[in-house]
């Protein structure tokens, strides 16, 4: 596919400004118009130009909406990744607590054993 087909089109503000100037000129002509046919013709031209302006401006809105959708998708994806990472962290914390409690219990058992040996030796010496 050609790059020109993939390239996003930005609203052309020069075209919008040109249409606005033309509309202003047509409105001046509208005030000076004398016949109904002339009024109708000028009014239809104004409406046509207003529609062209609307179409041109909507290009920018559609691009902003698309950007918004993409950002929301990225945010949702990051939130899911964060939730998964938090779950993994919670599992690691649980495993760490389990191991630390195991080491703490073994150390307490050794301290108790040494204490009882000390007490028996101290009782034997006295």
Instruction: pLDDT tens for the chain, 126 residues: list them.
Output: 444 444 557 778 888 899 999 999 999 988 888 888 888 999 999 999 999 999 888 887 888 888 999 999 999 999 999 999 999 999 999 999 999 999 999 999 999 999 998 888 888 886
* pLDDT value, residue 6: 44
Query: Please, what is the Cα angle at 14 between 8 and 16, to 5 degrees?
Result: 90
Dist. CA 60–CA 53, nearest whole Å: 12
* pLDDT value, residue 12: 85
Dist. CA 45–CA 33, nearest whole Å: 14
- pTM tops 0.85: no
């Amino acid at each position: 596919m050609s790059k020109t087909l993939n390239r996003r089109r930005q609203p052309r503000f020069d075209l919008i400004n040109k249409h606005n100037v033309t509309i202003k000129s047509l409105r001046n002509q509208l005030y000076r118009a004398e016949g109904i046919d002339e009024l109708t013709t000028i009014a239809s031209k104004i409406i046509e130009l207003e529609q062209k302006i609307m179409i041109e401006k909507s290009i920018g809105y559609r691009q902003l909406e698309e950007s918004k959708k993409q950002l929301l998708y990225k945010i949702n994806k990051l939130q899911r990744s964060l939730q998964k990472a938090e779950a993994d962290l919670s599992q690691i914390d649980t495993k760490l607590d389990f191991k630390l409690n195991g080491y703490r219990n073994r150390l307490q058992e050794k301290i108790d054993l040494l204490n009882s040996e000390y007490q028996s030796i101290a009782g034997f010496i006295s």
